[in-house]
Amino acid sequence: MSMQVPAGNLLQKINYPSDLKLLNETELEQVCKELRQYIIDVVSVNGGHFAASLGVVELTVALQYVLNTPYDQLVWDVGHQAYGHKILTGRRDEFHTNRIHGGISGFPKRSESIYDTFGVGHSSTSISAALGMAVASHYKGETDRQHVAVIGDGSMTAGMAFEALNHAGIENSNLLVILNDNNMAIDPNVGALKEYLTDITTSKPYNRFRDDIAHVLAKLSSIGPDAFKVAQKLEKSIKGTLLKRSNFFEALKFRYFGPIDGHDVNHLIKVLKDLRDIPGPKLLHCITVKGKGYALAEKDQTKWHAPGLFDKITGEIKKTKYDKPQPPKYQDVFGHSIIELAEQNPKIMGITPAMPSGCSLNLMMKAMPNRAFDVGIAEQHAVTFSAGLATQGLIPFCNIYSSFMQRAYDQVIHDVAIQKLNVVFCLDRAGFAGADGATHHGAYDMAYMRCIPNMVVSAPMNEEELRNLMFTAQQENMGPFVIRYPRGNGVMVDWQRPFKAIPVGKGRKVCDGDDVAILSIGAIGNEVIKATAELNAEGYNPAHYDLRFVKPLDEALLHDVFKNFNKVITVEDGCIEGGMGSAVLEFMADNGYTNIQVKRLGIPDKFIEHGDQPELWADCGFDANGIARQVRNMAEKRNVNTIAS
């Protein structure tokens, strides 16, 4: 259950931005202190993302103080950093329910508030969305309307952000892009843009003369009607000379301002008021510290991105303690297993788009730094980069969260599958992803991958099978190979067993039975095992088959099932539309199996909100109780004593 905490004296009076505007600017530093403390207080006892919102407290207060939201359109990229925004826009009293089943979303969400102008969860969408809003306002004659996109330097590494900047530069729209530069996404940022921004922010000549430039340009106003053009040329010349390169953003026809201190709320307000009156596309470069105001978060920003519950005084992150060894997380099984495989096979490489700690490829990056790559928030590039490696005989394990892989679908088809390249796609967070909600659930990968020619699509039921599928996928001439697995812990303590190859397209019988056959794929099969144990005690005796592969299907296994059972239940932690159950129905139709009752359990044809995985399985009817309930509806009950004998 979530816990409500009291807000500070000023913050408790602010329900909406209109209340914030009633305060004097001299009071805003105190508002920032109280807002930062409130986020610390609530997240420490209820969980959630943490460091990102602490880093933009002053920027959030300044934006809401200067802008006329919600008429002015404020778009947050990703949304990890939008907690302060939510608190100041009518949701302070609900904030303790953040990311909890039935509570408010951890991300901006249009259906939740008029102040949430654009729903987010994935990165790098803010500039495109804000530009669309700005062009629409220009078309409608709303010349007084402001449009602001707040984007981090990590999100700026994605191709979509560059595409949007390139377009925005030629539109005479009222658009302000605020670059929140803290040199961090979840893990430290990588790439040339990161180096470029670092050069700008650390250039002593530029920072020394920046204010002098403004003074010189102001005096040029007396030159006459061409003063503005002269001023622009001089400004670019000085910046280019001091930084020894042309400004990247100004090359895209953005007027560049900064860098400025993103933690000086009063200066931010002054700058934002000035920028409000400057037409055309503009970029304000703010330097911030992720985790600002909480020393431990400032020191270890990756660890404190989303730490879970913690003691705000001591900084101790609260973890459940167990008397016995516990099964590992699937991501850690991947992380350790790829190192083992790479030690045996020099062709193996590891690739991730900006999630090395989330998918545990950071273990390989440390152990084998020349064979593991974080390519930044760039899923499309990650896939085609992997394809390039594969053309040279290497075997890339491209680890991308299931919902993020959606962003690189064309590359999977065009660059990998058509060319039959041996790229191993490890789809972490497949199925329900938990508190991140609809933007992060890996609901669709089986449906969108199984329709692609040349593709193998698999899902392990436990940690040992994950290892064995990884071993299988790196054998010679395997072609494109998908391994999907869920977020969270597995089911095996003794998981680090010798590798064994699994025949591609071969499932297995978990337990024999009669009357009803349950077909499952992936880790959700462990819920079937729980249901079967409960049902056996009640006098029901369903059979259970683990398909392991949705493409190719184990046709021999399915023929055996449909020749011996006329009642079948399919169970998957994925979308019902086009998923494993659909594949089974297609097999039945193609092979003339009729008069068989089939019930498909899985994620229904709607977007499911946030909550713990067991809560969401239960909501959708495919947890152990839901599976057992469906068997009872279909099966004949046997005499328990007869079964036991």
pLDDT digits 0-9 by tens, 202-222: 444 444 444 455 555 555 555
Which residues lie below 8 Å from residue 344, measured CB to CB, with a gap of 6+? none
Separation of alpha carbons 356 and 342, rounded Å: 17
8 is in an annotated binding site: no
Tell me what pLDDT residue 58 has.
96
Separation of alpha carbons 557 and 545, rounded Å: 9
Structure tokens at 186: 């979840």
pLDDT digits (tens, 9 = 90+) for 283-334: 999 999 988 988 888 888 888 887 888 888 888 888 888 888 999 999 999 9
Separation of alpha carbons 13 and 15, rounded Å: 6
Structure tokens at 319: 């973890």
Tell me what pLDDT residue 207 has.
45
Q: Which residues pair with 431 in a beta bridge?
A: 442
Question: Which of 64, 55, 193, 201 shows the shortest CA–CA distance to 124?
Answer: 193
Do 403 and 122 touch, CB atoms closer than 8 A?
yes
18 is in an annotated binding site: no
Judge whether residue 464 has pLDDT over 50: yes
More confident of the two residues 516 and 300 = 516
Tell me what pLDDT residue 209 has.
45
293 is in an annotated binding site: no
Separation of alpha carbons 370 and 122, rounded Å: 28
Q: What angle do CA 268, 155, 56 make, to 5 degrees?
A: 30
**Fold classification of 508-634 (topology level):** Rossmann fold (3.40.50)
Active site residue 290: yes
How would residue 643 be classed by pLDDT, with cut points 50, 70 and 90? very low
Q: What angle do CA 398, 402, 407 make, to 5 degrees?
A: 80
Do 212 and 169 touch, CB atoms closer than 8 A?
no
46 C-beta neighbours (distance < 10 Å), count: 21
Separation of alpha carbons 310 and 512, rounded Å: 46
> Between the CA atoms of 119, 121, 127 and 129, what dihedral angle is there, to the nearest 10 degrees?
-30
Catalytic pick among 290, 329, 371, 450: 290
Structure tokens at 312: 């705000």
CA 537, chain centre distance (Å)? 41
Judge whether residue 253 has pLDDT over 90: no
The yes-or-no answer to whether 330-484 and 508-634 have a common fold is yes
**CA dihedral for 419, 422, 426, 432, sign (positive or negative):** positive
41 C-beta neighbours (distance < 10 Å), count: 17
For the chain, the average pLDDT equals 89
First to last CA, the chain: 46
Catalytic pick among 379, 463, 465, 572: 379
Strands 508-511 and 543-546: antiparallel
611 is in an annotated binding site: no
Proportion of the chain in helix, strand, coil states, percent, rounded to 5:
45, 15, 40
Separation of alpha carbons 636 and 556, rounded Å: 26
Active site residue 379: yes
153 is in an annotated binding site: yes
Which residues lie below 8 Å from residue 466, measured CB to CB, with a gap of 6+? 330, 333, 334, 337, 460, 483, 485, 490
150-170 residues labelled b (16+ CB within 10 A) or e (exposed): bbbbbbbbbebbbebbebbbe
DSSP-based three-state secondary structure for 551: strand
Judge whether residue 187 has pLDDT over 70: no
Structure tokens at 55: 């880093």
Separation of alpha carbons 385 and 436, rounded Å: 28
Which residues lie below 8 Å from residue 625, measured CB to CB, with a gap of 6+? 531, 618
What is the amino acid identity at position 604?
P
257 C-beta neighbours (distance < 10 Å), count: 20
Separation of alpha carbons 635 and 567, rounded Å: 8
Question: Which of 593, 535, 544 shows the shortest CA–CA distance to 566?
Answer: 593
Catalytic pick among 329, 407, 484, 548: 407
Q: Which residues pair with 395 in a beta bridge?
A: 348
- Does the domain at 70-80+99-294 match CATH 3.40.50.970? Answer given as yes
Q: Can you count the helices (H) and strands (E) in the chain?
A: 27, 17
123 is in an annotated binding site: yes
155 is in an annotated binding site: yes
171 is in an annotated binding site: no
What is the amino acid identity at position 533?
A
Tell me what pLDDT residue 321 has.
83
Among 42-51, 543-552, 636-645, name the one with the lowest average pLDDT: 636-645
Structure tokens at 25: 């600017």
Separation of alpha carbons 573 and 427, rounded Å: 13
How would residue 198 be classed by pLDDT, with cut points 50, 70 and 90? low
User: Could you identify the residue written with the tokens 């992803």?
Assistant: 433
pLDDT digits (tens, 9 = 90+) for 390-427: 999 999 999 999 999 999 999 999 999 999 999 999 99
Task: Spell out the domain ranges in the chain.
Answer: 70-80+99-294, 330-484, 508-634
Separation of alpha carbons 24 and 474, rounded Å: 64
80 is in an annotated binding site: yes
Helix axes 57-66, 265-276, angle to 10 degrees: 40
Judge whether residue 539 has pLDDT over 50: yes
pLDDT digits (tens, 9 = 90+) for 123-156: 899 999 999 999 999 999 999 999 999 998 888 8
CATH number of 330-484: 3.40.50.970
Separation of alpha carbons 537 and 516, rounded Å: 16
Active site residue 239: no
